A and B are shown apart, each in its own frame.
Chain A
Amino acid sequence: MVKSSSLFFLVTPKWRTALSRIRSNQKGRGGRALLLGSVGLVFWALVFGVLFRVLRYFRGVEEIGPLLASKLLGLLLLSFLSILLLSNVITALSSFFLAKDLDLLASSPVDWLHYYLAKLGETTVHSSWMVALMAVPIFAAYGIVYEGGLLFILYVPFILAPLLIIPAVIGSAVTLTLVNVFPARRTRDILSIITIAAAGILVMMFRIVRPEQFARPEGFQSLLDFITLLRTPTSPLLPSEWATDSMMGFLLGPLDILPIVLLWSTAAGLVVIGAVLHNALYGPGFSKAQEGAEKFVKGWFWQSILQPVLKPLAVAKREFVIKDLKLFFRDATQWSQLILLGVLVIIYLFNIRALPLFRGEEVPFFLITIVSFLNLGLAGFVLAAIAARFVFPSISLEGRQMWLLRSSPLDLKALMWSKYWVGTIPLVVLALIITIFTNVLLRATPFMMAVGIVTVLLLTLAISALALGFGALFPQFDTENAAQIPTSFGGLVFMMTTVALVAGVIIIEAIPVGTYVRAAFRGEPVVFGWQMAVGFLGVIVLCGLATYLPLKIGLKRMEEFEF
């Protein structure tokens, strides 16, 4: 009988790779690790700080306090469970069906159960590490406020582990079933659209329901109703509820063993069912995943519409623009992000509309002007986030084809030019929509409307250039997934620089806007004096430099790329 490799042996390459990555990160990349670590710590501290205050407040409230703390934990764990389920479905597709080590494993005498457990472990780690990190400050706050003691530190992973395993098994099983129905690549497309649409609808529903209204005490007829509602378990059949009961039982007593048994037995039972399903369906599914998804494309739209529209451009630039647009709209993982973008814009405008500014009385002019002005900062941040997702990765995504671009007589300026405008034009349209609609909703003055439009236009040109420039300075040529590129170190540096630019623009422009507000408030005519001139000129120079320099530096860096 052939002896099969042990489970530990199968996962050896994974942890060895992780170890050597950590080692190589330590060598000469101290600054980078320090920056990432600091940002992570600040985030942790922020989450911990907010939750600590809230829980301390709850602890001081008789009767309702513990119920509220428990409800809050239940809500957090339920969100974790939903996120984990979605991310496991996607991750399982990569680790079980598309990973590069699969051919080697499938052709080796590896026991199917070891194979399943190794891949399940990989899926769990890849899709849960972020949630696990996020859980640290949350449970730290609970542990400290409710004095969980040192034992709580050991108890949390004990409860959290089945909560991570359960969605991993379910996610893998869902993926396994889908792959047996659709080809793997088509499944990836379908999954990414479903996931993003689900996330978008969830966020939108949550915002449009306006949860802040539930905080109003007049919404409930009596305190008793409120307490009854809090005491009712939200979802007694969900593992997140069992985990909440186990945690709160430990912290507040009495400790009930049933939820713990439910958690672990469900996790174990699901792993067994998952393994049986894997044994039955993985073979045909994996074989199907090797089959290419046939996709005949005539491309008549691009040929008949875009070619004539872009005719005035030089042929290389035109072909580059058309190529970038085709690649974007043919990749479901890319264009489906536009759904989230649409949700973002709707929520943005909804929030502005929901501002309690127009409630019958005369709205103070000062307030409107300030909101309209500060809205520029918010718009700048939103644009930066979008540029990070769509413009920043564009140079990195050329990495594997750079042999072609560098060996052809393509002027890198033309490449930069195409990438810049393909990213900037949609951003400009979005920026104008946000600014104009916001100012209309706010009933801002023509002066503020003009200031808003010109500033956001200048900011967009600069943000797009910064995204492209930093994208060239910190390329991620090995990453095939565009969504992972903005979360790299370069993406972080880009976001920090852009936030600094937006802050700089707001500070400089506060001078002319302040002058305008003062004059209008006193009922004096608004004079375009030297203060205004200096302020606006400052913004133009700052944005001009933030547009020119990143493009220039990025171009120089690209000329030095070697492959």
Chain B
Amino acid sequence: MIRLEGLTKRYGKFTAVNGIDLHVPRGELFGFLGPNGAGKTTTLRMIAGIMRPTDGKVILGGFNVLENPMEAKAKLGFIPDRPFVYEKLTGAEFLRFVAGLYHQEGDIIERRIDETLEFFELTLWKDELVESYSHGMRQKLIISSALIHRPEVIVVDEPMVGLDPKAARLLKEIFREFVDRGGTVLMSTHTLEVAEAMCDRIGIIQGGNIVACGTMDELRAQNQSGDSSLEALFLKLTGGAAVRELASVLGD
């Protein structure tokens, strides 16, 4: 379970995240949408304990991230948008290291390493240094690392970037299965079709505020949008409906 209470982040006079309240219960896949610079990544990084909020609370699995960081983070699997990993470790070594950070080791971890790498078709690359992995392979490795310790909550920033269609499909299945087993996923994405197809509920953030939140039907009802698509709703809510004519973008 994820609970945000009045979550705020200010950089000087600029407010990136403005008092967000949100509750994502167990067994829910929540989609977090918003235009560039809306505050999505900042919010996710505060949830993961990488950034400190200026104000407000983050509760993960019943533990406050600021007050009980060890207990809260032990329940979390975080997947960032930029796949920075140690270049001079092999894929298997990286996963073993991450498991160690979560105080897990032994045969069970070795088995999970083999299973996860096989699942993402990385077995052949298991003993190769990460420096020779492609962007997509690194992304797969990071996703594997977020699952290696069997978290209760997954917070993921732009998971589909760099993944091939097969891996993207696999990831969708993993998240669905994870949620069906009682896990919680908070996922930020720009791929609206993915959000519409996968998410139980969707929140749209604009200028640091959640401007809409609910199931697809609830969002349509809130905005009196009939049976419009998530794309139409998104553009309406984020001011992108007045998209200029394509010709004016491509013309002189």
Query: Which A residues form the contact surface with B (CB < 8 A)?
Result: 185, 292-299, 314-316, 318-320, 322-323, 326-327, 330-331, 400-411, 560, 562-563
Contacts and interface: CB of A to CB of B under 8 A. Distances in A.
A323 B50 contact: no
A408 B51 contact: no
B82 to A, nearest CB: 8
Nearest to B75: A409
Given A292-B131, A297-B128, A408 B102 contact: yes
Contact of B50 (A294, A296, A331, A403): A403
A475 B98 CA distance: 23
B101 A409 contact: yes
Nearest to A404: B98
Given A298-B127, A402-B50, A409-B70, A316 B84 contact: no
19 contacts: A292-B132, A292-B133, A316-B103, A319-B97, A320-B97, A326-B88, A327-B86, A327-B88, A327-B89, A403-B45, A403-B78, A404-B145, A405-B101, A407-B73, A409-B69, A409-B74, A562-B50, A562-B51, A563-B45
Nearest to B48: A407
Contacts of A323: 86, 89, 93, 97
Q: What are the 6 A-B residue pairs with the smallest beta carbon separation, nearest first?
A: A319-B100, A292-B132, A407-B78, A407-B48, A408-B101, A400-B84
Contacts of B104: 315
Given A297-B129, A299-B90, A409 B102 contact: yes
Secondary structure of the B contact surface, majority rule: mixed
B96 interface: yes
B140 to A, nearest CB: 15
Contacts of B88: 326-327, 330-331
B26 interface: no
B70 A296 contact: no
A454 B90 CA distance: 41
A407 B76 contact: yes
A316 B97 CA distance: 8
B49 A406 contact: yes
A318 B131 CA distance: 23
A405 B85 CA distance: 11
B218 interface: no
Given A294-B132, A400-B84, A326 B89 contact: yes
A341 B41 CA distance: 44
A293 B49 CA distance: 35
Contact of A319 (B69, B90, B96): B96
Interface in B118-171: 127-129, 131-133, 145
A408 B98 contact: yes
Contacts of A326: 88-89, 93
Nearest to B146: A407
Contacts of B145: 404
B105 interface: yes
Interface in B53-84: 69-71, 73-74, 76, 78, 80, 84
Interface of B: 45, 48-52, 69-71, 73-74, 76, 78, 80, 84-86, 88-90, 93, 96-105, 127-129, 131-133, 145
B15 to A, nearest CB: 16
Nearest to B129: A295
B128 A294 contact: yes
B50 A563 contact: yes
A561 to B, nearest CB: 9
B50 A315 contact: no
A326 B93 CA distance: 10
Contacts of B80: 403
A299 B86 CA distance: 15
Contacts of A315: 100, 103-105
B132 A410 contact: no
A293 B103 contact: no
Nearest to B81: A403
A319 B92 CA distance: 13
B98 to A, nearest CB: 7
Contacts of A409: 69-71, 73-74, 101-103
B52 A562 contact: yes
A509 to B, nearest CB: 42
Contact of A408 (B73, B96, B128, B133): B73
A322 B71 CA distance: 25
B127 A296 contact: yes
B96 A563 contact: no
A293 B132 contact: yes
Contact of B131 (A185, A403, A408, A562): A185
Contacts of A297: 90, 127-129
A320 to B, nearest CB: 7
A532 B114 CA distance: 62
B56 to A, nearest CB: 15
Nearest to A412: B69
Contacts of A406: 48-50
A237 B121 CA distance: 59
Contacts of A411: 70
Contacts of A330: 88, 129
Contacts of B69: 409
A323 B87 CA distance: 11
B64 to A, nearest CB: 14
B4 to A, nearest CB: 16
Interface centre among A295, A401, A407, A411 (most CB of B within 10 A): A407
A389 to B, nearest CB: 18
Contacts of B48: 403, 406-407
Contact of B101 (A299, A316, A327, A402): A316
Interface centre among B45, B50, B78, B101 (most CB of A within 10 A): B101
A404 B101 CA distance: 9
A401 B86 contact: yes
Nearest to A560: B52
A410 B105 CA distance: 14
A426 B70 CA distance: 31
B100 A318 contact: yes
Nearest to B9: A562
A330 B129 CA distance: 10
B70 A316 contact: no
Nearest to B124: A296
A4 to B, nearest CB: 22
Nearest to A319: B100
Nearest to A330: B88
Given A403-B80, A407-B78, A409-B74, 5 more contacts: A295-B131, A295-B132, A316-B100, A326-B88, A401-B84
A318 B103 CA distance: 10
A185 B87 CA distance: 12
Nearest to B100: A319
Given A326-B89, A408-B102, A563 B51 contact: yes
A211 to B, nearest CB: 40
A322 B90 CA distance: 13
Contacts of A185: 131
Contacts of B84: 400-401, 403
A402 B99 CA distance: 16
Contacts of B127: 296-299
A401 B50 CA distance: 11
A270 B71 CA distance: 64
A291 B52 CA distance: 40
